[in-house]
């Protein structure tokens, strides 16, 4: 019986802690009003400060969010001469080992998370370059034509593949893959593919 009372006390303490954090957040933004005090904003705590300097009162530029900041960093890296080759950009994206069979059927997404197509197979060119064969279509990747996508321009994004360095327009302009010289890589083989997040 004592353990249930302890459990209830802990649970109610956690709820009140979260409620306190929520009230402080709302009070800080001015969205919470005190009904007893005539609807004026609720002030939980106020600290007196020295008069502000002109630098402090000047409008601040909004900070970039984490995904946008990361994308800007990648764009800066891509413009540097030493990071221009697709292989170098891929090596900066922490390539990981993956089984070829696990890539088959995954959707390929553009920058707006719209499906460009699905991976149908993975091949190796006579020069040794690995390519994903994607069934590209403007209709969310269904009933598309096969397009060869270099492994260096994509990255794993959870259970999807993000097309980082190949735009939708490049997919449209790419020739239809015929596969005459490329050799299919068996499903049990291990290759490396970059990793990304958004």
> Which domain covers residue 20, as residue numbers?
2-51
pLDDT of residue 197: 87
State residue 26's pLDDT score: 47
Domain assignment present for residue 58? The answer is no
Residue 121 lies in a domain: yes
Cα angle, residue 47 at apex, residues 59 and 31 outer, rounded to 5°: 65
CATH of the domain at 180: 3.90.50.10
The answer to whether residues 101 and 186 belong to one domain is yes
Percent above pLDDT 90 for the chain: 42
| Shared-domain flag, residues 188 and 100 | yes
Per the domain annotation, does 83 fall within a domain? no
- The answer to whether residue 67 is domain-embedded is no
Tell me if 74 is assigned to some domain: no
The token duo for 131 is 């390519």
Give every CB contact of residue 43 below 8 A, 6+ residues apart in sequence: 27
176 three-state secondary structure: coil
pLDDT tens across 83-135, in order? Answer: 578 888 888 888 899 999 999 999 999 999 999 999 999 999 999 999 999 99
For residue 65, being part of any structural domain is answered with no
> Are the CB atoms for 65 and 132 separated by under 8 Å?
no
Same domain as 103, residue 189: yes
Domain assignment present for residue 132? The answer is yes
Q: Which has the minimum average pLDDT: 25-34, 54-63, 92-101, 167-176?
A: 25-34
Least confident of 52-56, 141-145, 184-188: 52-56
Residue at 99 is within a domain? yes
Confidence of residue 46 (pLDDT cuts 50, 70, 90): very low
Backbone angles phi, psi at 46, to 5 degrees: -135, 135
Domains contained in the chain, number: 2
CA distances from 124 to 19, 107, 111, 162 (A): 57, 20, 26, 20
């Amino acid at each position: 019986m004592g353990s249930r009372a302890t459990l209830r006390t802990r649970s109610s303490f956690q709820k009140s802690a979260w409620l306190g954090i929520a009230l402080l957040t709302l009070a800080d933004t001015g969205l919470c009003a005190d009904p007893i005090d005539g609807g004026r904003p609720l002030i939980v705590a106020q600290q007196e400060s020295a008069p502000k300097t002109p630098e402090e009162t000047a409008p601040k530029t909004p900070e970039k969010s984490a995904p946008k900041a990361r994308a800007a960093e990648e764009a800066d890296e891509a413009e540097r001469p030493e990071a221009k080759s697709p292989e170098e950009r891929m090596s900066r994206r922490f390539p990981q080992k993956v089984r070829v069979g696990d890539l088959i059927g995954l959707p390929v997404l553009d920058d707006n998370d719209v499906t460009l197509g699905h991976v149908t197979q993975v091949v190796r060119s006579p020069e040794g370059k690995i390519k994903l064969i994607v069934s590209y279509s403007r209709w969310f990747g269904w009933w598309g034509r096969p397009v060869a996508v270099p492994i260096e321009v994509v990255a794993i994004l959870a259970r999807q593949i993000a097309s980082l360095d190949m735009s939708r327009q490049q997919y449209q302009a790419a020739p239809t893959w015929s596969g005459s010289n490329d050799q299919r890589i068996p499903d049990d083989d291990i290759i490396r593919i970059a990793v990304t997040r958004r």
